Structure 1
């Protein structure tokens, strides 16, 4: 997997799904091992500028969490959209529909929720983790992420140790983690000292996976 390359942005067009590129025949799967895989498609969201501008203005929420013996600020802003909530841009509804159609046979259930993160600058990050709150702890599942805004590194490594795989996710790029990925691998977005602008991550998940 060391030969996997960074993502480069590109645009595709579909008359039936404005702003979205096709998935079939273009998304590329990379087997990670231990039953895990990731699918990658750069530039999937062709209208990324419009969606990104809209998302910057939503009602982002700051959270605090227990870290050892003290409460600390979560180093990013968050917004979770449950199953019954309207997504903040119609293209995100189209994206979820396209993902459901493409992965229906393999996943066996639809993507239902959308968790959004805003990384305001290079000081914002997310530590190593798997999405194992709920069914992801014991079952194979999928998490589909659309990245918008400034490019940031997205890291993957096997649980228990092993080589780190690095992707540079850019504006409109899609990454889907599937199989046992949440249980047998971890992912992270590290801090960076480079000057970078905001990045929004949109994470589509099935019911009961966080």
Structure 2
């Protein structure tokens, strides 16, 4: 594992609709829910965070990004993205992330029954960085309904969904520039999600994932 606090990144293509440095959240009134099946759903809100590009620049420079490796078959390969994780009680790297987590915890309190307490960050440097098909099933989410909320900053990348049993991609959401998506119900057990590689010329993206206690 190596640290990459100031990674060399291609230029971020700023949003045409969000050019200010005033980092602030809109309301959650515009959240739209899509049912994936009878027990799994996603909520989606484009452009929840205003000033998202400014927050991207601060996090890209401030977060102690890690390059990790993992075993695959008979080899050890580099994880194709940079990572950072803030466990329960750990100070978050920017006040906006504290506000986002508190706001989401309050909004989903009745459904979730507990707050979001951790934050995992992924930095996708370009289209070669990705995350393979998976569900967040480490911990309680392997057997219980839960939620994972994702705030996306930087250039949009597709978040794809397919049933855990396999088959074609059912849904693709291009996420970036302050977009919010929340995966709920049995989504982590019954469905898989991925950020596929792309040959398109795309700039960097940061994904911030908020999770409840005991969910990874």
With normalisation by structure 2, the TM-score equals 0.87
| Residue 47 of structure 1, CA deviation | 2.2
Match of 2:39 among 28, 31, 35: 35
CA–CA separation in structure 2 for the residues paired with 1:113 and 1:198 = 23
Tell me the SS of whatever aligns to 2:54: helix
Equivalent residue, structure 1, for 2:83? 78
In 2, the alpha carbon distance for the partners of 1:9 and 1:167 equals 19
The answer to which of 157-166 and 130-139 deviates more is 157-166
Which of 5, 27, 30 is residue 26 of structure 1 equivalent to?
A: 30
| Equivalent in 94, 97, 115 of residue 92 of structure 1 | 97
* Aligned with 1:199 (options 199, 205, 216): 205
Aligned mates of 1:62, 1:19 — CA distance in 2: 30
SS of the residue 2:59 aligns to = helix
TM-score computed with the length of structure 1 as normaliser:
0.90
Contact 1:10 1:42 in 2 (8 A): no
Q: What is the total number of aligned residue pairs between the two structures? A: 196
Q: Displacement of 1:61 after TM fit?
A: 0.2
- Aligned counterpart, 2:4: none
**Which of 23, 44, 51 is the aligned partner of 2:48?**
44
| Residues 1:142 and 2:147 aligned together | yes
- Answer yes or no: is the 8 Å Cα contact 1:34–1:180 preserved in 2: no
Listed one character per residue, the Cα deviations across residues 167-186 of structure 1 (whole Å, up to 9, x for unaligned) are 11121000000000000000
CA distance in 1, matches of 2:185, 2:203: 32
Which residue number corresponds to residue 195 of structure 2? 189
Partners of 1:171 and 1:148 lie apart in 2 by: 5
**Other structure's SS at 1:63 match:** strand
Q: What's the offset of the Cα at 1:9?
A: 8.8
CA distance in structure 2 between the partners assigned to 1:135 and 1:45 by the alignment:
29
Matched, 1:120 2:125: yes
| Distance in structure 1 (CA, Å) of the matches to 2:55 and 2:178 | 9
Following TM superposition, where does structure 1 have runs of at least 4 consecutive aligned residues deviating by more than 4 angstroms? 8-11
2:177 & 2:167 partners in 1: Cα distance? 29
Counterpart CA distance in 2 for 1:47 and 1:96 is 17
| Aligned: 1:101 with 2:106 | yes
Aligned pair in 2 of structure 1 residues 73, 162: CA closer, same or farther (>3 Å)? same
Contact 1:9 1:42 in 2 (8 A): no
